Amino acid sequence: MERIIEQLKRFNNEQPSFTALGEELLKANFNNLAYKGLLPKIECKDNYARNILTRDPIEVILMIWPPKTESAIHFHNGFFGYVAVLEGALDNIEYAFKNKQLKETGGLKALPGGLIAEKDGVIHKLMNTSETGNAVTAHFYYPALDNLNGINIYDIESGRIGELNDKALTASWLEHESCFSKIKENAFTYLPYHKHKTTSHRIFSIIPKPDREFISKNISAYYSEQAHEYDFFDLEHESRRTYNEKINALIAEELRNDGISTILTLACGTGRRDIEIKELTGLNYLIKGVDISSDMVSIANRRGLDVTCSSWIDVKLGDKKFDAVTFLYAFGHIPSRDERLASLKKIANHLNEGGSLYFDVFNVDDKNEWGPSAVKAYEKGRYSDFGYERGDVFYKKVTGNQIAFLHYFDKNDLVHDLSLAGFNVSFVKHIGYVKKSGEILKAANEGALFIKAIKK
């Protein structure tokens, strides 16, 4: 910690901007800090503890967060800073307050080495969601605060707003009543994210980008969380149902024309779509499935399919060959370009000569989807410094807990990688998803990408 504190003394002779402080902290290596002897003592297992290391010129604080602890929702008024996660993980949830209404507006999860930006004027809370492990964080604020006097905190259960005084040690409702200058009752109403957003999913970034094992584990948990309602969700949402029906029909027509006898279905989920496609073809081909969610696999196997629970890159199929492969709604879950290229090469190895691969991906240029927002966040938030590739997104259902990963694709890059993997592209169709669902579109900035590629 001494090295970082010394590094920040460059601001002794200049007033740092929010950006300049962030630039300086990005140079630091938070994975090799000596801080164990500086950790504060946990006085209350239900609240975090702070140790202020310096206030000159940047306030530097070490904090320890016991399991399931969180700050109150609080308002940064007149100061800004960053939070570096040293151990465990910390969620940052942001809010907007207007017309006596508090709305949840966004969030992210920070892992060791990750930085959480806290702009002047932000309303947010930090929380350790772990059931068992502590989180440890280093906080960097400017200008330094002598104490927490004047900080407003919000209680979404009761609608109270409390103003802390100089006796408060933490931004928490666990502080004694003597630590408040005033408490205003019934000061606001609370609107959670899913109550004011019409979307079913939300972006929830993870900083830095976790490794493949972490992502695969989370994707498996994400689909297992919704396995028993997944088919209903697919059929209930008209845009998604219409989109899937169009893809199913296009694949069925191609398979019927090719007269296949074997097919490998990757990320087959509950198997419902594979059965529907087979019925549309009128053919009696053999289906072999692979899926990462054990709950999904159980449902698919009960439907009579032969499905193995595994990620595609890890599954062992020996020397089996297939006439066709489908990889629907899931190729973008593969966490890196290197692994996606390796996955395509593995698919080619399990295809007969002239065999076809059918898959769909989200278009990074689709103005009606998250692609453009993902690129903006990647560039503005300097996500490349945290291991992201352009087009990467982490997200979860607005009513769910599990975080999944998805990559949005540049069409030209995808066609290039297919060629490197041993495929000729037969077609790339733009299919409406959120808007003009199920329609074949011509505009480059609309629709998801549906691809047929043939093994060379």
pLDDT score at 233: 79
Q: Which positions ≥6 away from 202 have C-beta within 8 Å?
A: 106, 107, 193, 395, 396, 397, 398
Give the pair of three-digit tokens for residue 365: 């240029």
Q: How far is CA 309 from CA 92, 317, 455, in A?
A: 33, 12, 26
Domain count, the chain: 2
Using one digit for the tens of pLDDT, what is the confidence trace for 157-216?
A: 999 999 999 999 999 999 999 999 999 999 999 999 888 777 889 999 999 999 999 999
How big, in percent rounded to 5, are the helix, strand and coil portions of the chain? 30, 30, 40
pLDDT higher than 90, residue 32: no
Same domain, yes or no, for 22 and 159? yes
Same domain, yes or no, for 185 and 240? no
Chain position carrying tokens 């599954």: 315
pLDDT score at 427: 98
In a domain, 204, yes or no: no
Dist. CA 447–CA 205, nearest whole Å: 23
Question: For residue 74, what is the domain's CATH number?
Answer: 2.60.120.10
Using one digit for the tens of pLDDT, what is the confidence trace for 86-96?
A: 999 999 999 99
pLDDT higher than 90, residue 234: no
415-432 average pLDDT score: 98
pLDDT higher than 90, residue 100: yes
In a domain, 388, yes or no: yes
In a domain, 186, yes or no: yes
With bands split at pLDDT 50, 70 and 90, how would you rate the model's confidence at 41? Answer: very high
Counting runs of H as helices and runs of E as strands, what totals does the chain give? 11, 25
Reduced to 3 states (helix: H, G, I; strand: E, B; else coil), residue 226 is coil
Same domain, yes or no, for 218 and 316? yes
Structure letter (DSSP) for residue 330: T
pLDDT score at 39: 96
Same domain, yes or no, for 307 and 347? yes
246-269 average pLDDT score: 97
Using one digit for the tens of pLDDT, what is the confidence trace for 48-80?
A: 999 999 999 999 999 999 999 999 999 999 999
358-371 average pLDDT score: 97
* Mean pLDDT, all residues of the chain: 95
pLDDT score at 322: 98
Choose one of 197, 231, 259: the last residue of a domain: 197
| Host domain of residue 387 | 212-455
Which candidate, 375, 57, 61, 404, places its Cα nearest to that of 215?
Answer: 404
pLDDT score at 226: 87
pLDDT higher than 90, residue 336: yes
pLDDT higher than 90, residue 242: yes
378-397 average pLDDT score: 95
Q: Which positions ≥6 away from 376 have C-beta within 8 Å?
A: none
pLDDT score at 50: 97
Dist. CA 262–CA 324, nearest whole Å: 7
Structure letter (DSSP) for residue 128: -
pLDDT score at 196: 78
Same domain, yes or no, for 265 and 184? no
Q: For 259-367, where are the alpha helices, taking DSSP H only?
A: 272-281, 294-302, 337-349
Contact yes or no for 50/61 (Cβ under 8 A):
yes
Dist. CA 111–CA 430, nearest whole Å: 36
Which candidate, 122, 63, 119, 103, places its Cα nearest to that of 87?
Answer: 63
Kindly provide the residue ranges of all beta strands, DSSP E only, lying in 72-159, ordered along the sequence: 73-75, 80-87, 90-98, 101-110, 115-118, 123-127, 135-142, 152-155
Quick one: angle between helices 227-236 and 294-302, nearest 10? Answer: 70
In a domain, 202, yes or no: no
Using one digit for the tens of pLDDT, what is the confidence trace for 311-334?
A: 999 999 999 999 999 999 999 999
Same domain, yes or no, for 343 and 447? yes
Same domain, yes or no, for 98 and 19? yes
With bands split at pLDDT 50, 70 and 90, how would you rate the model's confidence at 230? Answer: confident
In a domain, 187, yes or no: yes
Dist. CA 333–CA 123, nearest whole Å: 32
Q: b/e string for 170-182 if b means 16 or more Cβ within 10 A?
A: bbbbebeeebbee
286-292 average pLDDT score: 97
Percentage of residues in the chain having pLDDT higher than 70: 100
Choose one of 173, 197, 221: the last residue of a domain: 197
Dist. CA 383–CA 366, nearest whole Å: 20
pLDDT score at 194: 81
Same domain, yes or no, for 184 and 223? no
Which candidate, 156, 150, 169, 163, places its Cα nearest to that of 125?
Answer: 156
Reduced to 3 states (helix: H, G, I; strand: E, B; else coil), residue 374 is helix
Same domain, yes or no, for 217 and 187? no
Quick check: bond before 112 cis, omega within 30? no
In a domain, 303, yes or no: yes
Reduced to 3 states (helix: H, G, I; strand: E, B; else coil), residue 422 is coil
With bands split at pLDDT 50, 70 and 90, how would you rate the model's confidence at 399? Answer: confident
Same domain, yes or no, for 276 and 186? no
280-299 average pLDDT score: 96
Same domain, yes or no, for 371 and 433? yes
In a domain, 23, yes or no: yes
Dist. CA 20–CA 16, nearest whole Å: 6
331-351 average pLDDT score: 98
273-293 average pLDDT score: 97
In a domain, 326, yes or no: yes
Same domain, yes or no, for 10 and 64? yes
Percentage of residues in the chain having pLDDT higher than 90: 91
125-145 average pLDDT score: 97
For the chain, give the longest Cα–Cα distance.
79
Choose one of 197, 227, 262: the last residue of a domain: 197
